[in-house]
């Protein structure tokens, strides 16, 4: 087959995809869609610089009619499943950013759309592809650690200073309404990917909302934790949220029956792995593993510590039917295994921290129990979930107006800086 024609829905993250897809020898970026024209303008400028012919759309209905083999969904996190389903029904392969689904009913619809379409679904949980987590997966799958006993994962990212730039002052922006447990796959996902184990039981706990984030329009709790039991009896603790910490805490540990491995807690050591194994004379080793793929494109795709390259790489390889891609993508079943504990952890929070069993959506009979369960913070009527376990509360519209005003000012400044840079480039080229 010729080059795989790929479209991207979501021009914010889409700019990263330009760098990745545009340089990939077996793929061609053909279209980008976003409601914000200024983001499309930036993408168009990047595409022009790379000599690419990419069509820009503000209307998804027109975008989906473009001649494409696959779509990368980088739109709002709570809207991925509906758009994934539309693309699958259109006969396209789908790669979805976080989250795959925000309710159990949505997860049922997504799984069944994948099954019925026969197309490839790939979950772009890039934190599964850090050098450290990839190395921990290798160690575990090769039996170097022994059977999984306990694990921990953290994704704590203080977004206070960038909240304006990632929510745009939109009152109902998903980030303002998303409880921390719903956004759990950055912390829990790598453990599923490393071990291949399925979660079977979960309990959730959250902090109180804080004035620090409320003044920016965030309506949910600042942080949350879920405790998960895995199918082999092992346990896992997942911590995520916007607590005060910078750089972000991106950290994972795996305790096996025979040895343990963990990543480092600080950005400058993002790729570092620590291994404790008393079966060896050197009980504690610390090292930086080599990249799994050694190409110029892999080396120069820098988003999220270089991990943005790998899920797209494996997605393309899987479409081509290559074993390396098929072995390393996160399929729809693993994706919902990562996400459902977060949904149920929040149900636990809202119901006095009671535990919930995690269904196996590989089994149709289990899916049947949940196909009409659309409980989430965007739900209506019986399906409406309060935005925190402490109940719903309102933030004055003036807060969002102020955030919006500040964001627009920043955009105007950025436009001026972009124009200044463009003129300087033209001057340097003698135009």
Q: Are residues 163 and 79 in the same domain?
A: no
Q: In what order do the strands lie in the sheet with 356-357?
A: 284-287, 273-276, 260-263, 249-256, 148-156, 235-241, 223-230, 199-206, 356-357
Strands 4-9 and 27-33 turn out to be parallel
Instruction: Decide: helix, strand or coil at residue 353.
Output: coil
Q: What is the CATH number of the domain that holds 325?
A: 3.30.360.10
Name beta bridge partners: 238: 153, 226
Whether residue 65 lies inside any domain: the answer is yes
CATH of the domain at 49: 3.40.50.720
Q: 189 and 114 in one domain?
A: no
In a domain, 400, yes or no: no
Pair (146, 290) in one structural domain: yes
Tell me how many domains the chain contains.
2
The SS3 assignment for 214 reads helix
Question: Within 10 Å of residue 275's Cβ, how many Cβ atoms?
Answer: 21
Domain that holds residue 251: 128-383
Render each residue's pLDDT in the chain as its tens digit; 431 residues: 689 999 999 998 777 777 788 778 899 999 999 998 988 998 998 888 888 899 999 999 999 999 999 999 999 999 999 999 999 999 999 999 999 999 999 999 999 999 999 999 999 999 999 999 999 999 999 999 999 999 999 999 999 999 999 999 999 999 998 888 988 999 999 999 999 999 999 999 999 888 999 999 999 999 999 999 999 999 999 999 999 888 888 999 999 999 999 999 887 788 999 999 988 767 899 999 999 988 777 777 767 777 888 999 999 999 999 999 999 999 999 999 999 999 999 999 999 999 999 999 999 999 999 999 999 998 888 899 999 988 877 899 999 999 999 999 988 888 888 788 878 877 787 76
Give the count of beta carbons closer than 10 Å to the beta carbon of residue 368: 11
- In terms of Cα–Cα distance, which of 101, 76, 238 is closest to 168? 76
User: Does residue 139 sit in the same domain as residue 113?
Assistant: no
Residue at a domain's end among 77, 100, 126? 126
């Amino acid at each position: 087959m010729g080059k795989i024609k790929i479209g991207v829905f979501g021009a914010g993250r889409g700019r990263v995809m330009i760098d990745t897809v545009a340089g990939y020898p077996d793929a061609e970026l053909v279209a980008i869609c976003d409601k914000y024209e200024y983001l499309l303008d930036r993408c168009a400028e990047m595409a022009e610089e790379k000599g690419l012919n990419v069509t820009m759309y503000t209307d998804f209905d027109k975008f989906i009619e473009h001649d494409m083999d696959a779509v990368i969904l980088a739109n709002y996190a709570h809207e991925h499943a509906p758009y994934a389903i539309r693309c699958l029904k259109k006969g396209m392969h789908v790669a979805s950013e976080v989250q795959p689904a925000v309710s159990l009913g949505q997860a049922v619809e997504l799984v069944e759309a994948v099954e019925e379409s026969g197309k490839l679904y790939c979950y772009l949980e890039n934190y599964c592809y850090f050098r450290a987590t990839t190395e921990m997966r290798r160690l575990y799958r090769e039996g170097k650690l022994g059977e999984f006993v306990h694990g921990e994962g953290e994704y704590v990212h203080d977004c206070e200073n960038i909240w304006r730039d990632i929510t745009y002052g939109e009152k109902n922006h998903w980030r303002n309404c998303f409880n921390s447990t719903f956004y759990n796959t950055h912390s829990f996902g790598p453990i599923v990917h490393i071990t291949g184990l399925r979660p079977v039981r979960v309990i959730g706990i959250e902090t109180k909302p804080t004035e620090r984030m409320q003044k920016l329009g965030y309506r949910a709790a600042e942080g949350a934790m879920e405790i998960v039991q895995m199918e082999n009896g092992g346990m896992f603790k997942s911590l995520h949220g916007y607590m005060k910490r910078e750089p972000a805490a991106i950290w994972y540990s795996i305790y096996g029956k025979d040895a343990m491995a963990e990543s480092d807690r600080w950005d400058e050591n993002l790729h570092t792995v620590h291994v404790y194994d008393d079966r060896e004379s050197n009980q504690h080793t610390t090292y930086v593993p080599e990249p799994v793929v050694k190409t110029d494109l892999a080396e120069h795709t820098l988003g999220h510590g270089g991990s943005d390259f790998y899920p797209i790489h494996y997605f393309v390889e899987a479409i081509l039917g290559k074993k390396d891609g098929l072995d390393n993508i996160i399929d729809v079943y693993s994706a919902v295994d990562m996400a459902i504990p977060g949904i149920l952890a929040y149900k636990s929070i809202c119901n006095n921290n009671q535990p919930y069993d995690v269904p196996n959506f590989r089994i149709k009979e289990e899916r049947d129990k949940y196909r009409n369960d659309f409980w989430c913070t965007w739900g209506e009527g019986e399906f409406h979930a309060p935005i925190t376990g402490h109940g719903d509360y309102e933030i004055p519209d003036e807060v969002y107006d102020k955030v919006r005003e500040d964001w627009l000012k920043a955009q105007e400044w950025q436009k001026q800086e972009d124009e200044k840079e463009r003129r300087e480039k033209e001057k340097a080229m003698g135009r």
